[in-house]
Structure 1
Amino acid sequence: MTNLLTLSEIKNEVRTVIRQNKERGFLPYSGCNRVCHALIDMLENSRLLEDRKLSFDIHLFIFVEILKLVSHADTSSGAATDAIHYCLSGVEELSRSATLENRSHMLGGIIKTSKNKACIEWAEHGYGLLSNAVYLVRDHKDAESVYSIFPMLGTMYGRREYPDRFVITQGIIERLNGVAAADQYVMEHLDVPEMRKIMVERAIGNQQYSLAEQLCVEALQEDKGNYHRPPVWAYHLERIYSELRITEKQVEMIRLILLRGDTSYFQKLKELCQLEGTWEETRGVLLHELLENLMPHDFAALLSQEGETAKLLEVVRAHPIYVEHYGKQLAQDYPEEAYSIYEEYIFSEAAAATDRRKYKGVCRLIKSYFRAGAKEQAKGIIRQLIENYPRRVAMVDELQALSNSLQK
């Protein structure tokens, strides 16, 4: 790749890589990975070029080629998404640092590429590309050329406008007309969450806490988002109350964030309550609320981290699948109870196992049981399972291999 110095050569190389990995016009899982890794390598090498316009054009070409592949490839590994993001990050870096003489070329490239059928079909990524035009717009004529792309990229489901449309417009207004004009535009479109977020962040940065709080509280009252995902407004309010040292309201926001699934805030709440001397009276009620509101795996991870083994034991009893991860910790304080859960779950999984992959899963459980301190019991289970299922040759094979390894 380092010897390819023209866009024509690079285009040929890209098409060759794609053609070599296709099977009957489709990119299978491994082929898609190989192609995407090769394209990312090309992008990395292009970033070393002194010719920034050539590097920019390489990014645009590869961006479109990846979008074309998405409908004809197994992209389940995420490699295609990584390649798209790598393209866009490169375009952003090159756009941000564009010299005066390169801006017209780069803006023209973005406008032309955004009109490509692939960008229109994948409008979210098309808008991702178009957003970089903000760094390149020089006058109102340039702005109109950007705005003209919006109708081509269309709307989201339910005929809702893509929020990127407003964010791009706000960025261009700020670039051409100044902050005050951009702020006025934002205030006129507060119904778009991304616009409201811009104003909130700007207000906090300017220490206009009353305005920021008002904007967040209004949005929070109307929030109907994912119950297991904290609303962004709660995070902003927590920051506002932290900076204003309004502890009571800060605690309220942290509780909301916690109950909506972000357990990383548990320690912050604990520390605040300890400073206020209220942790002991808060702890029990909070853990009960978290039990009612968190997903079981999140609650179990939190209890494990906090050393709440008694409550963790109850969660694992209700969801034995977690014993593999927390059995060793539980066995330190509640060996009999933990071992009982292990044995019941192992026998249940063994009875349901029907292929070698599942047999290996049973053996992994037994190994976890062994490492939790139940060495003789684990060996006994192996013998018992071999006796129970003598006709499951593959299972017996896996169990005997495990038995041999545990003897060492």
Structure 2
Amino acid sequence: MKTEISTSKKLIREYINQYKRRGFIEWRDVGQAVVGAEMILEKAHGKMIAGDTESAVLLCKAVLSIVVDMLQYCDDSSGIVGGLIEGSLEIMDESVSMGMYQLSDREQRKIFSAILKEAQNKRYDGWSDWSVKLLRICISFSNNPVLRAKLEEHLNSMLENLPDSSWSSDYHRKELKRLQLEMIERYDTEEKAQEFINANITYSTFREMAIASHMEAGEFSDVIKLCNEGEKLNKEYPGLVRSWKKYRFQACEALGDVEGQRKLALDLIYNGDFGYYSKLKGLYQPIEWSEVLGEILTTFEKQSSPSSVYLEIIKTENMKGKLLQYCERHLFSIEDLYPYLVEDYLEEVIELFKTLILTEAERASNRKQYKKVGYLIQRFQKVCGDIQAQKVINSLMQQYIKRPAFVDELGKLV
């Protein structure tokens, strides 16, 4: 086996070295440079099919040991090298899953040690997702108490040595904790898994698991408690806070807590989630809704910058007067909103389109920008008719007679 591995590594390197120029492999050469690695990976797949788990795993490891390092000296814009790495990990994982129970104790120890050693290699610094995938493969060996103890010891050591505070270390810590949970879920009781989740509830992934568990059990008060804690804990992360509020809304919905649903839906709407608008509207009687809607619109209208939710609301409610005001404040929006306005506000639509065209014409200074003005005129023509469009074209031709390129583009519209 040692000879096969060394021969395989030699083949992989031969192809790589053929296309290395001054220590680097250009994007166009990467596909040819990895032909040797692809051949070995194909051989590994054949070994897996034949039930030779050890050979399949060690051949994949040989590919990884060279190809991961290759990322340091090649342009992998096409993702070819990354795809090879993923392919190696998939074959390794499938080989272990298929052959685990046919392996002797000695073979299990050997393969486990090879994978664990590869996962610990410094080549995965900066590529933690791949080292985590290797560690996840090791979980399959954890029915063996000795190997499980080794993996647990390694995971604990990694967790202890992670820096205290950085986005990457927090992400890696969460992934390692997930591996610990997977091991417990696979080989221990459901109660032990729940204990682990509760012990790590500060991690959003585990909080979400706990919420799902309580939701399934109909324990909606516990869901609300977990969500409230999560909102306080993650107050600096708007995306997470929004997630906890959505779960809390579901719990309030299940409990029939109308007031709780109203408050949460309104909060979510103000924070950019239009999806809760129809839910909120359904929580009020029509006679009550008019006042609530007025308060919502007033709140949005006081904001310094326009909200997409505000626009969606006035479109949904077909508030043509407010849509016209919106277009007057945000001129470009007339291109999208004119279908709502043209029937009742044709003259205003004509004037807004004219203003937009004249504004863009004033800014235009090259052929590309002149064409953009021409496109706007064509839109204007479809909406407001040939006569109005011709008036604008004639006016622009006179105004910009000293810009022949612009006049030429306008002439194409006549």
TM-score (ref. length: structure 2) = 0.70
Q: Distance in 1 between matches of 2:398 and 2:10?
A: 66
What residue number does 1:4 align with?
none
Q: Deviations over 1:251-284 (max 9, x none)?
A: 222222221111122222223335x763223222
What residue number does 1:119 align with?
124
2:243 aligned residue (232, 243, 249): 232
Task: Write the letter of the residue equivalent to 1:272.
Answer: L
2:206 aligned residue (195, 212, 225): 195
1:331 aligned residue (329, 339, 342): 342
In 2 relative to 1, CA 354–258 (structure 1 residues): closer, same or farther, beyond 3 Å?
Answer: same
Task: Write the letter of the residue equivalent to 1:262.
Answer: D
Q: Distance in 2 between matches of 1:74 and 1:134?
A: 31
Matched, 1:171 2:199: no
Q: Distance in 2 between matches of 1:284 and 1:14?
A: 70
**Cα RMSD for the two superposed structures:** 4.8
Q: Deviations over 1:5-27 (max 9, x none)?
A: xx8899689969x969x999586
Q: CA deviation at 1:389?
A: 2.4
Q: Which moved more, 1:199-208 or 1:363-372?
A: 363-372
State how 1:247-396 maps to structure 2 within 5 Å: 247-274=258-285, 278-292=288-302, 296-396=307-407
Q: Distance in 2 between matches of 1:388 and 1:121?
A: 59
Task: Write the letter of the residue equivalent to 2:345.
Answer: Y
Q: CA deviation at 1:151?
A: 6.6
In 2 relative to 1, CA 341–14 (structure 1 residues): closer, same or farther, beyond 3 Å?
Answer: farther
Q: Distance in 1 between matches of 2:387 and 2:65?
A: 59
Give aligned-pair identity as a percent.
Answer: 19
* SS of aligned partner of 1:167: helix
State how 1:28-47 maps to structure 2 within 5 Å: none
Matched, 1:99 2:108: no
Q: CA deviation at 1:366?
A: 2.2
Q: Distance in 1 between matches of 2:61 and 2:354?
A: 56
Q: CA deviation at 1:323?
A: 2.1
Q: Distance in 2 between matches of 1:111 and 1:266?
A: 51
1:141 aligned residue (139, 150, 155): 150
* SS of aligned partner of 2:218: coil
Q: Distance in 2 between matches of 1:93 and 1:358?
A: 55
Q: Distance in 2 between matches of 1:56 and 1:334?
A: 74
Contact 2:361 2:373 in 1 (8 A): yes
Contact 2:19 2:25 in 1 (8 A): no
Task: Write the letter of the residue equivalent to 2:128.
Answer: A
Task: Write the letter of the residue equivalent to 2:268.
Answer: I
Contact 1:150 1:165 in 2 (8 A): yes
TM-score (ref. length: structure 1) = 0.71
Q: Distance in 2 between matches of 1:93 and 1:201?
A: 32
State how 1:6-17 maps to structure 2 within 5 Å: none
Q: Distance in 2 between matches of 1:265 and 1:14?
A: 57
Of structures 1 and 2, the larger Rg is shown by 2
Contact 2:269 2:309 in 1 (8 A): no
In 2 relative to 1, CA 181–73 (structure 1 residues): closer, same or farther, beyond 3 Å?
Answer: same
What residue number does 2:170 align with?
161
* SS of aligned partner of 1:224: coil
For structure 1, list consecutive stretches of 5 or more residues without a partner in the other structure: 1-6
Matched pairs, number: 380
What residue number does 1:3 align with?
none
Matched, 1:213 2:221: no
* SS of aligned partner of 2:343: helix
